[in-house]
Amino acid sequence: MEFDPNVVVWTTPIANVDGPICSFCDRHIGKVYYISQAKLKAANKQYSKIKNDYEMTFNKNTTVYTCDEATKIPPITFNFLPIAQLPNMDKDSVIDVIGVVKSAKDVRCITSKTTKTELKLREVQMVDSTNAEVNLTLWGKLAEEFDATSKPVVALKGAKLSDFGGRSLGTVSSTVVQLNAV
């Protein structure tokens, strides 16, 4: 079976030196995969804000298989930070946050200054139990598929803290987003 980037979830950061495998990866929380011919090494925390101890590198020979017989998958663990504490955190911190969608704008496109590629984004305003609010930017497919009509509870694992327009959050390739996570 060949690698199918449309059915893979990663809880460990993955680098790909031989092609754009991971830029197309979808996340399927709660699934398990067999991965062969990939390199697993200790994470270089100097270059990553993610708190994982290991990272994986794929190459053109890497294969990924769905593991259908897995029955017990450990849940994702969050370390939620109240939105009111965001001003006390360093810019570019990677954090976990939970809140309710207060409002969401339509998807729009911008052009990256560095890569000159078109990027899709959606801006969402969240509020938490402290009544503090934060703007969240969702990127790519996540921005396109996000449905805010029911004002869902959103749990974010690994959102990046920015100082764009005051304190704000953005998703990155490793961010996990769970809707109606109560």
pLDDT value at residue 16: 47
Identify the burial level of 34 via C-beta atoms within 10 angstroms of its C-beta, where 0-12 means exposed, 13-18 middle and 19 or more buried. Answer: exposed
pLDDT value at residue 59: 81
Helices (H) and strands (E) in the chain, counts: 1, 12
What does DSSP assign to residue 80? B
**Which of 77, 79, 80, 84 shows the shortest CA–CA distance to 98?**
80
Ordered by where they begin, the domains of the chain are 14-66 (no CATH), 83-179 (2.40.50.140)
pLDDT value at residue 17: 44
Rounded mean pLDDT of the chain? Answer: 80
- Model confidence pLDDT, tens digit, residues 9-48: 444 444 444 444 443 355 566 677 778 888 888 877 766 6
